[in-house]
Structures are given as C-alpha cells and as structure tokens.
Amino acid sequence: MFDWGRKEVVAPTTLTELPIQVAFPKDNQDVRSPIKISGKARGSWFFEGSFPIDLVDASGNIIGQGIATSTSDWMTEDFIDFSSEISYTRPTSTARALLVLKKDNPSDNPDLDQSIFIPVILK
C-alpha cells in the first residue's frame, strides 16, 4: 500500500528544499485524462532535457506513463520549467492514484534514484 500523504524525496539529498516543485496537479486534486503536469525542477533532475513520470494505481500497477520535458536549457542547477501529459484508460477501483516523478538516472545507479509522489483522484 502507498502512504498517500507522502511528499518527500525517496533518496538522500543534500538540498535543503525539494529539487522539484509541482504547480499542477496539487496533492489530492481531481484529474482527468490526459493529465497535464507542470512545474519547476532543478536541472539535475533532467537528462537530455527530460525525466520520466509514472501514473500508479493503489495496487502499484502502472496505468500511465509520460516524459516531462524542460522548456529551456536543462544544463543548470537552477529551477527550470517542465511540462508533461499522461493519458490513462484503465479505471481504478478506488479512483486514487499516484503520479511518480522520477529523477532521470541514465547511470542506473540506485543510489542516485529520487522520486516525488503526488496523490491524485482520477475522474
């Protein structure tokens, strides 16, 4: 089961603030397909200007996937805007789901993995 109130980064980080700020959707917001996701992330979250996002149901099944893309030069430690769109067709029994925004990790080193969870209500 998921901890629906969880918001923090899942890996240790030296940053004093979250490396990503999601403008839409907000926690527990009603969403419809396609979900338009936007916000700001530090350049280190991107690789080649993008990072992956999964939509996961309450049972842990991935019901949608997308790629967040930067809207400007991602080769910075500063915050830069990103946007993404995820479609889903598979209904869930609870209508609850999580958006999992994942730091792109081309090295596949699990020590570098980080994720942010945004709980949403599917409509």
Which CATH fold topology does 20-122 show?
Answer: Immunoglobulin-like (2.60.40)
Amino acid in the structure at residue 45: W
What is the C-alpha to C-alpha distance for residues 49 and 14, in angstroms, rounded to an integer? 22
Kindly report, residue by residue over 25-56, the tens digit of the pLDDT.
999 999 999 999 999 999 999 999 999 999 99
List the chain domain ranges: 20-122
Instruction: Give the model's pLDDT for residue 3.
Output: 54
DSSP, collapsed to helix, strand or coil, labels residue 78 as coil
Nearest to 116 by CA among 98, 97, 95, 102: 102
Model pLDDT, residue 66 = 97
Tens-place pLDDT, residues 46-103? 999 999 999 999 888 999 999 999 988 888 989 999 999 999 986 667 889 999 999 9
Q: For residue 32, how many other CB atoms are within 10 A of its CB?
A: 9
Query: Angle 96-71-32 (CA atoms, 0-180°, nearest 5)?
Result: 25
The pLDDT of residue 123 is above 80 = yes
